[in-house]
């Protein structure tokens, strides 16, 4: 009766099941995986956010596939402040980054054609690909003090069935940005094999490392057809408002038909909420204060983790250039699942094992830097104390 697109395993992951059981007993868990900014104690400018929704224009419906010009111009201004030149005709809105992926997959790929996705990376891609009849292959990110793309493996992976390379800049969860030389190589590969670049940049505003070789974003990338994705979920810490944006760039002979085709897809769904899109220009003016709140947590937690973990030779805090996550490499005396169960059972601390993000080696855990510093630091202290006691 059901399509093969939803042939997923519905058995609950044992780790998640155990977490639920402990919570059901009323016990407090220090959750170091929290990624919802509205649950992390930030002081939002609530009145200004909500006032923007009380716009009389919201009482009329004037459907526009790409979104209102005023809102698109606000996005253009946002990118110009980051040194990236785009114009309003290149911008279109979706209800979320996930929806943007779905539309781009429909734009670029026929059923069963393939995309290349980084590993490690966000596990949502597998579901999005399957729902859109797209096949995935992986290319590796390798770590040698810093993360980088394994171009030898990437070049070997490309076939005539591939239509796009997917990037996350900075990557989730490695926090690594694309570098200038990497972008040149990516453009060369895409040009040679007639591939598009899809670059998820939702975390790009949260940059720690000031390395001048970092590419802050691919909006305006001209050598090949490129789509840069952003959204209010991360840039404004407002996931509940459900609005994302995509900027198309590249050679004119490819960008023009791509945007025309995308407009038809957008016009078919018209999924973006009118009050939200009308509010976006006002919300973007609040971006600095909201991001300052969020960045405060990220930097304080990152610095605490680096300092405290450095005193334990058996574990390593991997270098992170930006984003909302940190990675701790643990002693290989246990696998990731054993470590995460031990932290949960004995220390009441919940973390993500590396295999959630398709790490190819053991043993890693992934921590959200978004968590309130009090909770984060207590959780990390318990983890490090456990490591010291066992080793």
pLDDT at 391 exceeding the cut of 90:
no
Average pLDDT for 82-97? 94
Domains of the chain in sequence order:
5-9+11-35+288-390 (3.90.1150.10), 46-285 (3.40.640.10)
Structure confidence at residue 242 as a pLDDT band (50, 70, 90) = very high
Interatomic CA distance for residues 311 and 118, integer angstroms: 32
Q: Do 155 and 192 touch, CB atoms closer than 8 A?
A: no
In sequence order, what are the beta bridge partners of 287? none
H-helix or E-strand spanning residue 30: strand 30-31
Structure confidence at residue 8 as a pLDDT band (50, 70, 90) = confident
Q: Structure tokens of 25? A: 């007993």
Residue 77, pLDDT score: 94
Peptide bond into 301 cis (omega under 30): no
pTM over 0.85: yes
Give the model confidence (pLDDT) of 217-236 as tens digits: 999 999 999 999 999 999 99
Give the model confidence (pLDDT) of 300-343 as tens digits: 999 999 999 998 888 999 999 999 999 999 998 899 999 999 99
Residue 332, pLDDT score: 85
Give the model confidence (pLDDT) of 158-215 as tens digits: 999 999 999 999 999 999 999 999 999 999 999 999 999 999 999 999 999 888 899 9
Average pLDDT for 65-75? 94
Interatomic CA distance for residues 74 and 230, integer angstroms: 13
Interatomic CA distance for residues 201 and 372, integer angstroms: 24
pLDDT at 244 exceeding the cut of 90:
yes
pLDDT at 9 exceeding the cut of 90:
no
Q: Structure tokens of 286? A: 């609040």
């Amino acid at each position: 009766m059901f399509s093969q697109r939803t042939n997923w395993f519905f058995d609950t992951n044992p780790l998640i099941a155990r977490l639920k059981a402990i919570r059901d007993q009323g016990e407090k868990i220090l959750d170091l995986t929290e990624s919802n900014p509205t649950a992390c104690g930030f002081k939002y400018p609530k009145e200004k956010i909500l006032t923007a929704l009380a716009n009389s224009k919201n009482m009329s419906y004037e459907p526009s596939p790409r979104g209102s010009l005023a809102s698109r111009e606000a996005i253009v201004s946002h990118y110009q402040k980051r040194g990236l030149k785009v114009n309003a005709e290149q911008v279109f809105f979706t209800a979320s980054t996930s929806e943007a992926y779905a539309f781009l997959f429909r734009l670029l790929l026929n059923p069963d054609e393939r995309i290349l996705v980084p590993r490690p990376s966000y596990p949502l891609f597998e579901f999005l690909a399957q729902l859109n009849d797209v096949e995935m292959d992986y290319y590796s990110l390798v770590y040698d003090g810093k993360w980088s793309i394994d171009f030898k493996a990437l070049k070997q992976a490309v076939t005539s069935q591939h239509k796009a390379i997917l990037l996350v800049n900075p990557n989730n969860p490695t926090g690594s940005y694309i570098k200038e030389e990497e972008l040149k190589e990516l453009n060369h590969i895409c040009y040679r094999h007639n591939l598009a670049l899809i670059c998820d940049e939702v975390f790009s505003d949260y940059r720690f490392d000031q390395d001048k070789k970092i590419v802050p974003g691919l909006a305006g990338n001209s050598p090949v057809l490129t789509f840069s994705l952003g959204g209010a979920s991360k840039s404004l810490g407002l996931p509940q408002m459900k609005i994302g944006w995509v900027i198309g760039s590249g050679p004119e002979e490819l960008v023009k038909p791509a945007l025309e085709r995308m407009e038809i897809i957008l016009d078919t769904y018209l999924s973006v909420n009118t009050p939200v899109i009308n509010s976006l220009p006002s919300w973007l003016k609040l971006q600095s204060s909201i991001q300052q709140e969020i960045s405060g947590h990220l930097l304080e937690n990152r610095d605490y983790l680096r300092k405290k973990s450095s005193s334990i030779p058996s574990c390593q805090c991997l270098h992170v250039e930006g984003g909302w996550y940190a990675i701790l490499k643990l002693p290989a005396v246990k696998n990731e699942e054993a470590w995460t169960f031990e932290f949960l059972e004995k220390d009441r601390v919940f973390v993500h094992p590396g295999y959630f993000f398709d790490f190819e080696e053991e043993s890693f855990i992934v921590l959200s830097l978004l968590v309130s510093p009090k909770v984060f630091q207590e959780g990390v202290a318990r983890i490090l104390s456990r490591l010291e006691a066992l080793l």
